[in-house]
Every structure is written in structure tokens, then in C-alpha cells.
Structure 1
Amino acid sequence: MLEVKLHDIGEGMTEGEVIQYLVKVGDSVITDQPLVEVGTDKMVAELSSPCSGRVKEISIEPGEIIQVGTTLIYLEADSDVKTEKKPLIEAKQDTKKEIVTPSEQVKKSSATIFHRVLAAPYTRKIARDNNINLEDVRATDPSGRVTEEDVYRFLQGQQTREQTVIDIQQVAVIQEISDEIPFRGIRKKIAEKMTKSLFTIPHVTHFDEINMTNLFKIRQELKLSGESVSVPAFLIKALVISLKDFPIFNAELDEENSRILLKKNYHIGIATNTESGLIVPVIHDVDKKSIKEINKDVKELTERAIAGKLQPFEMKNSTFTVSNVGPLGSTGATPIINYPETALIAFHKTKKRPIVNEQDEIVIGHIMTLSMAFDHRVADGATAVAFTNRFASLIEQPHKLIMEMI
């Protein structure tokens, strides 16, 4: 009998929450088949079967918080299953070999192939509650992930030409599901961390405006020359340069030892909205990277975060976090700091507005608003204003940004 235990799926994790089982007692499983989904404070991971066999017992209920080393499932491996030996005479009589055509062989072999559809735990719950095989549901997301909207569309018959009317019972099921969302997994961990941050750190939010006109011109010139670089890449580079000038914001307060730790590394967290909740992938050592490299990292990390493919180390050790909510239409907010960091900056919507230039002429400019939340125990308002002024000067006059990198 083999035991499937919760092991350390992150860096130094001590406990996890059992989200859901992907098998039940009596099921036959194959090697590496996902058995159970377990949530940590950073991610939802799947524990796979170490061998082929049969599920004999499930020892922990979904929703329970367990320690690393706890046994979740007992498996009976195929190698442990004893089969009765047939009499020698019968074995001799059964000498005729079965003739299998290539097409039949394909059918037989395909029956043992395990295919895992990419979907969030809540999406899987909706499918299970409605007896839907996720392999039958067409994913509309470019990543191939099946979303709850895809499942609802399948229920409503929008993916099959044959079904034109929704069964009344199905409508009732949809209505019932839409009234209740499980509060667990990543969403629950986010809530716990945000609550700790808000009730531990005295937040102060500073607002400012940045003239993006010159930066947009440089981006357009680069685009015409064949180089496409996102706005966040420039913003993050300017941010790191500003943090070097104001290291108090790249710091962590150690209350127990009454000291402020000024971090020597510049690891920038990128707040990313995903189906599972807010995830913060981290670009490490940003001060050592070019704008082009930062652009590549932002794109790749964001895509993997949305697809749920981030590795644990890609979500750890951030020293400062940014939230780019402008593309969503945000014009302002009072963000919560990513504890235990000292500050967070949110970039909001950029609008075309009439402005007065240095020649006292009224022209149209591209103005972006930002909000910076900071820990008032560590820094003061005047320092925060000086910090954002430094940041604004690098963005509004991009030649300064270039000079800083030489």
C-alpha cells in the first residue's frame, strides 16, 4: 500500500489546503495522473500518482488545512495486486493469439491515455456538479484554459448545433451556482494577506500625474523601427532608478528587532489579475536588466500567471510591487501594500488633456495618474512626493532615463 502525502510544493511551505480530489475510492489511476489539488498562499498545485494502481482510501476531507507530511490518499499499486494462476492445461489450450487491426490497436491504446484539461478548481466543480466532461468543452481563452463561462455556454447549448433549448433544471442549477462562490484556496489566502497588511501597516496614499507625451513618441519611433516595447517596461526601469535614489521605499520594517532593512536587491512584483485571483509574479534583479529584457520578462510572467504555470520561485522575494490597472479603465485607487513591503505604486488610465507647455502654449498631452501607497511608519509624505517627482522626471524627459543607464 502506497501513501500519497502532502510534500513541500513551494519554498519552505509548512501547510496547505485540500481544494478538491480528482479521483474517488475505487478509481484506477496511472502514473503521474493528478489525484488532488492543494492550495498554498501562492498557488494551487496538483499532487500526482507515483504509480499505476487503484485508490483504496481518501483520508482527508476537502477544505481541511493540513501539515506537510500528512497522508491524503492510500493507493494499491498494480504490482501489489495478486492474480490467480490459471491451470496449466487451460493455459496450453489458450494458445490462439488475438489478431488486432491497427485501428483497433489505436482504440485500445487511446483508452489508457490520460488527458488533463487546463481549468481552475471552481470551473471543475461547476462541470462536476452538472456531469460535464471538460474535454467536451471548447476553451475560448488563448491559453487553452477552460473557464466557467465556457462551461455555462456548454450548458446553454451554444457549443452544439443540436441543442437549442436549455432544460429548466439546468437553468435552476446555473442560478444556484451563481449565488455561491467557495471562499478558499488562493482567494482566501489573498484575503488573509490583505487583511494583515491593512491592519498592520498605517497606509497613506499619495496621488500624482505624469506627462507621458514624450515617452509615447519614443515608443512610436521604436515601433516604426521594428522594436515593440510596452509602457510598463519603461515605467519599471524608471521606478528602479528612483528606488536607488530613495532606498527607504525598497525596504522592510523589522518591528521585532526595531530596525528598517534596506534591501540591496531590486525585485519588482507585478500584480496580475487571473481567474484564480490576484497573483504577483516577480521580476528579479531588475536593476541589472535592460528595458528590452524587462519587457520580455513582464510579458512572459504575465502570460504564465494567467495560465497558472508560474513556478514558486517566480512569486517570491519581491521588494516593491506595481499594479498596472490603467488598461482596465481605472482612474484612481487607494491600493493595499504587498506586505511586508514598504510601498506600492498603481498606474492608472492615461488620458488626452489640454496642458500648458514650457512656451506657455496650450497643447494636447497624454496624462497618466498614479497612486502610491506607503507605510507611514517607515516613510513620510514629503519623501513620497520627492520619490514620485524623481520618477516623473525620468518618464517626462526620457533622455534622462537613457542617461541614467549609461
Structure 2
Amino acid sequence: MVEVKLHDIGEGMTEGEIIQYFVKVGDVVQVDQPLVEVQTDKMVAELPSPVSGKVKDIVVNHGSMVSVGTTLLVLETKEGNAAEPVLETVETVNETIFQQGSLELEQIEPKTIIGKKRFIIAAPYTRKIAREFSVNIEEIIGTGPHGRITVKDVYDYVKKRDYAQSPEGSPQAFTNGSPGQTEPEHERRTRKGRNELQQDHQKPEVIPFRGRRKQIAKKMTQSIFTIPHVTHFEEADLTELLAYRNELKEMNVNISAAAFFIKAITLSLKQYPIFNAKLDEENEVIYLEKEYNIGIATDTEDGLIVPVIHHADRLSVRQIHDQLKILTKKAQEGRLEPAEMRNGTFTISNVGPLGSIGATPIINYPETGLIAFHKTKKMPVVMENDEIRIRSMMNMSMSFDHRVTDGATAVAFTNRFKQLIENPKLWPIELA
């Protein structure tokens, strides 16, 4: 007998939610065949079979939260037999490569489907959407490459299903006992009133508080109760930077403002390394990190995720822009690798595109600081010569750990950042 346990599939992982099993008791499985899908606070992953054999017992039900080391299912192996070769299917090959992001699905040649069972090609995020709408994904016909099921396919299926189950989709709802006869007006009004009354007494929707949402809550609670937060507010004039970006666009070079922000942050951190630090209270030391790994707070349907641009100080603004675009897309699609979320030293949150004008952001523990960039808007500004001009102004909110540093240093840090952002002509000198 071989016990398949939940192992640590991500840095710092302590528990996971059992999303679904791909097998049932009595099934014969091959080495590396996916057995179970697990949701951690950072990712969705499939746990493969370590051996060939038969599923003897499923110990933990799907939907359960379990700790690392918990036995999930038991496999019965053939004594004395070597491990059988891996039986690769369309789903196994495509899903693995899709999660790794190393190849596009179109590059994978479809393999022969063995037996009558239909193997489904769908990303973990697509499967999650199907589960949320109580859809058996095997009933959906995929329109993507090689029959891959897309999120749109799931939504289209749900619309058709719900319409068929609704009064509008049922022919009987429009008849009064005989074909072609419409429902009397008084009965229609009675039914409408009864439905409205039922809606008034509907129970509130219940959303499970677990998985990523629960992990986010734990980390936010740890941060806010451990770190004495202080938030410093500032504003920056982005007029010259936006004009510079427009000049670049005319040369077919499109760089996001956030890429400039990240580069300016790394330059500012080098001058004020106390914000690129981590406090170790137990050993009574502050570590000034030598790597400049900038976390990007990213809003996704599953909650806040922080992918990390590693060694941002060694990258050009164009390279930062490219990495930012890739990491943001992978975060929103649930395809980030654990290594892409590790070892952050400072975090930014660019909430301006959503319309924010201010906030008191919570630090990404155990880091020392986090800066949020808010909405940029045109407004009249009194210049040094008392002349009033229309400028593009952006608010900033910087939270810092008051155990590690003080307000005056935070002001100096944001002033340095402002100097770089407001004067793009300084960049060739600073980056030389």
C-alpha cells in the first residue's frame, strides 16, 4: 500500500483545499497520472500518482481543508512489479505545459485517446469557473485549440442551461393546459407576485471563506497586528513623464507608466536601503537586502496576488515593462509559478486605473514598506512664479514599518522618487 499525502507544493504552504479527485475507488492509475487537484493560497496544482496501482481508498472528501502531510488517498500496488510507463493523455500533456507557460497549446500534437473516456483539456481557472456554476465540464464541447475548453465555453453552456431551466425557456410556462394558448393575465400577475414574495424571503448567499481568500486574510491580519503602520501621503506631477511617454509612442515604443515607477523605486531604494529591509525581532537585527525584488500587487478574481519582478535594478525600463505585462497576465489566469511570487523586498500597488484617490495600504509582511499609486488627474497648479497651469497630478500613499524607520526618512524617500518621476531628463544621468 502507498499513501498519497499532501506535500508542500509552494514556499511556506501549510494547508490546501481539495478541489476535486480525478479518480475513484477501484480505478487503475499509472505513474504521474493526476490524482487530485489542490488549491493553495497561491496556486491550483495537480498531485500526480507516485506509483502504478489501484485506488484502494479515498481518505479525505473534496472540499476539505487539510494540512501538509495529511493522507489523501491510498493506492494498492502490485508487489514485485516495476513501475509501469506513464500513460500520457491530451489533458496531461497540455495542462502541464499550459501551467508551466513554456509552450503554447497549439504546439502540442494531440495524442490518441484510449478507451471511451473523454479526456478534457481545460486550464485550472476554467475548471474553477465550471465548479462555481455546478457544471460537469465533461458535458462542454471546447472551441479552443485541440478542443480545449475556454472560460467563454463555460459561460455559454451556463447561459443555455439556465435558459432551458427558466420559465422563459419552458414552453409549458406560456400555456394554460393546451398548446398555443397563452397564460391568462391574472394568473401571470399572481405568479409574478408570488415569485417576488419568494425572492424577498430568499436566504443570503453563502461564500466559503477558505482557499486564497482565507490565506489573504491571515497574512493581512498578521501584518496589521505585527507592524505598527504609518502612512505618508504625497503627490507627484506626472506631466513631463506623460509627455515623454507620448514621444516614445510616436517612435512605436509603448512603455507603461508603472514600468517607470518601478525603476524609479529601485533607484530610490538604493539611496534609502532601510525600505528594502526586513526586521528580525527574535534576533534583534534588521537585514538590508542586497537584491531589489519588487512585488506587484495584482487584483484577480480570486483575490490579491503579488508576483515579483526579481532584480529590478538590473533591468531596463523596457524589460521591466515586458515582465510586468507577463506576470500580470499569468496572475489573472492563475498560472503563476511559486518562484514568481517569492523573495519580494518592496511592494507597489498601482490602483490608479481603478479610480482610487487615496488609501492606507497594508504592508506585505515581512517587508518594511509599500507604496500605492492612485488616480492621475488634470488640475490647476500654482507654479513657482505664481503662474497657474494645468498639470497631471497623481496621489501616492506610502505605508512603512515604524519599528524600522521614521517619518522623516519616508518623506525623503518619496521626495527622491518624485524627483525622478517629475524629471525624466534626469534618467540618462541616473542610469549611466
List alignment gaps of at least 5 residues for structure 1.
82-105
More off after superposition, 227-236 vs 349-358: 349-358
Q: Percent identity?
A: 50
Aligned to 1:316: 342
Aligned to 1:334: 360
Query: Which amino acid counterpart does residue 245 of structure 1 have in structure 2?
Result: Q
Aligned to 1:115: 120
Q: Distance in 2 between matches of 1:222 and 1:165?
A: 58
Structure 1 counterpart of 2:275, from 249, 253, 260: 249
Q: Per the alignment, in what secondary structure is the counterpart of residue 179 of structure 1?
A: coil
Answer yes or no: is the 8 Å Cα contact 1:34–1:47 preserved in 2. yes
Structure 1 counterpart of 2:411, from 347, 361, 385: 385
Aligned to 1:368: 394
Answer yes or no: is the 8 Å Cα contact 1:117–1:146 preserved in 2. no
Deviation at 1:358, TM superposition (A): 4.3
Q: Distance in 1 between matches of 2:152 and 2:40?
A: 22
- Deviation digits for residues 354-384 of structure 1 (CA, Å, limit 9, x no counterpart): 1233443322111111100111111111111
Q: Are residues 144 and 231 of structure 1, via their aligned partners in 2, closer, same or farther at CA, if it must alter by over 3 Å?
A: farther
Q: Distance in 1 between matches of 2:235 and 2:43?
A: 35
Aligned to 1:97: none
Aligned residues: 370
Structure 2 counterpart of 1:347, from 350, 373, 396: 373
Q: Per the alignment, in what secondary structure is the counterpart of residue 140 of structure 2?
A: helix
Q: Distance in 1 between matches of 2:115 and 2:380?
A: 65
Is residue 140 of structure 2 the alignment partner of residue 135 of structure 1?
A: yes
Structure 1 counterpart of 2:162, from 149, 156, 161: 156
Aligned to 2:45: 45
Answer yes or no: is the 8 Å Cα contact 1:117–1:134 preserved in 2. no
Q: Distance in 1 between matches of 2:49 and 2:169?
A: 40
Q: Are residues 80 and 307 of structure 1, via their aligned partners in 2, closer, same or farther at CA, if it must alter by over 3 Å?
A: farther
Q: Distance in 1 between matches of 2:381 and 2:28?
A: 66
Is residue 424 of structure 2 the alignment partner of residue 398 of structure 1?
A: yes
Q: Distance in 2 between matches of 1:56 and 1:310?
A: 33
Structure 1 counterpart of 2:309, from 266, 273, 283: 283
Q: Distance in 2 between matches of 1:306 and 1:39?
A: 15
Answer yes or no: is the 8 Å Cα contact 2:378–2:392 preserved in 1. yes
Q: Per the alignment, in what secondary structure is the counterpart of residue 156 of structure 1?
A: helix
Q: Are residues 3 and 275 of structure 1, via their aligned partners in 2, closer, same or farther at CA, if it must alter by over 3 Å?
A: same
Q: Are residues 361 and 138 of structure 1, via their aligned partners in 2, closer, same or farther at CA, if it must alter by over 3 Å?
A: farther
Superposition TM-score, scaled by structure 1 size:
0.80
Structure 1 counterpart of 2:253, from 212, 215, 227: 227
Query: Which amino acid counterpart does residue 316 of structure 1 have in structure 2?
Result: R
List alignment gaps of at least 5 residues for structure 2.
82-110, 174-190
Q: Distance in 2 between matches of 1:318 and 1:157?
A: 47
Answer yes or no: is the 8 Å Cα contact 2:140–2:154 preserved in 1. no
Q: Distance in 2 between matches of 1:326 and 1:147?
A: 32
Answer yes or no: is the 8 Å Cα contact 2:239–2:391 preserved in 1. yes
Q: How does 1:145-224 map to 2 (within 5 A)?
A: 145=151, 153-157=159-163, 164=169, 179-224=205-250
Deviation at 1:34, TM superposition (A): 3.6
Query: Which amino acid counterpart does residue 205 of structure 2 have in structure 1?
Result: D
Answer yes or no: is the 8 Å Cα contact 1:197–1:340 preserved in 2. yes
Answer yes or no: is the 8 Å Cα contact 1:127–1:151 preserved in 2. no
Q: Per the alignment, in what secondary structure is the counterpart of residue 364 of structure 1?
A: strand
Is residue 10 of structure 2 the alignment partner of residue 15 of structure 1?
A: no
Q: Distance in 1 between matches of 2:325 and 2:241?
A: 19
Superposition TM-score, scaled by structure 2 size:
0.76
RMSD, aligned CA: 3.5
Q: Distance in 2 between matches of 1:80 and 1:156?
A: 53
Deviation at 1:7, TM superposition (A): 2.6
Deviation at 1:153, TM superposition (A): 3.7
Aligned to 1:100: none
